[in-house]
Structure 1
Amino acid sequence: MRRDDRDDPFDDLFREIERMMNDMMGGNVDMHVDTDTPTGFGADTHVDMHEDDDTVRVIADLPGVEKEDIDLKCDGEYLTISAASDHREYDERITLPALVDERSANATYNNGVLEVTFDKSDESADISVE
């Protein structure tokens, strides 16, 4: 049996940690790891989210990635971070803690740390009852 044919001994551990994080975060954590890409121990991208009255800030660790290799997409509810380095591929879909105005996004990348800031969306419609 080759090493690639065996189950990763950390799969159950990572699934349990993800379940506990989802319980704590209200289901907002979506940690996807492409099982076809060898990523090694600690494969999930470290992502922090901060929310205040007007903004949402996402901070992600992407070591070894060049700024030009980062692709960000946002639909107001989810932020998708895709990037690649010589040793690893990142593909994270993150549920944002509040609806955001995706056109307000401001992203910076410095020393392996990506920071994306959004203004919260105030696009809610009043519905009149007749």
Structure 2
Amino acid sequence: MRGDDRDDPFGDIFDEIERMMNEMTGAGAGAVGDGSGFTSETHVDIYEEDDQVRLVADLPGVEKDAIKLKCDGKTLTISAASPHREYDERIRLPARVDEHSASASFNNGILEVTVDKIGDSAAIDVE
């Protein structure tokens, strides 16, 4: 018997915690492709550069026409659907951005969105 073959007294607890987390996030068995709603499996990377914020999201199986993007200057919302999954992600941006400057590209399941940052708030002189 190897040391890692022993019964783990916490194994059942960790399995139960993992099962509950999968239920809450929709990542468990049966959540994908069964019409149960949105899943939280979207991988999004955010890159804050000097004058821009760039987001890269994995949307496998999604067609370009099925993607809807909205930005209010603080949050970017990505909504998309494929035959097997639905995506609905609200991403809080690391800086205020000019939503009218947004540009997006989609290639091979990878969505890239770039928006210009808005400068710091202007100081107000008191006279």
Q: What is the TM-score with the length of structure 1 in the denominator?
A: 0.69
8 A contact 1:33–1:91 mirrored in 2: no
- Matched to 1:94, the amino acid is I
- Matched to 2:73, the amino acid is G
Tell me, what secondary structure is at the counterpart of 1:103?
strand
Match of 2:87 in 1: 90
Determine whether 1:105 maps to 2:114: no
Q: Give the CA deviation at 1:95.
A: 0.4
Match of 2:121 in 1: 124
Aligned-residue RMSD, C-alpha? 3.1
Q: Percent identity?
A: 58
Q: Partners in 2 of 1:10 and 1:110 — Cα distance?
A: 34
Q: Partners in 2 of 1:78 and 1:38 — Cα distance?
A: 26
Structure 1 runs, 4 residues or longer, greater than 6 Å off: none
Give the counterpart of 2:31 among 18, 26, 38. Answer: 38
8 A contact 1:73–1:81 mirrored in 2: yes
Q: Give the CA deviation at 1:10.
A: 3.5
Tell me, what secondary structure is at the counterpart of 1:68?
helix
Runs of 5+ unmatched residues, structure 1: 1-6, 16-31
1:62-93 Cα deviation digits (max 9, x unpaired): 00000000000000000000000000000000
Match of 1:3 in 2: none
Cα separation, partners in 2 of 1:46 and 1:11, compared to 1, 3 Å: farther
8 A contact 1:60–1:113 mirrored in 2: yes
Q: How many equivalent pairs are there?
A: 106
Of structures 1 and 2, the larger Rg is shown by 2
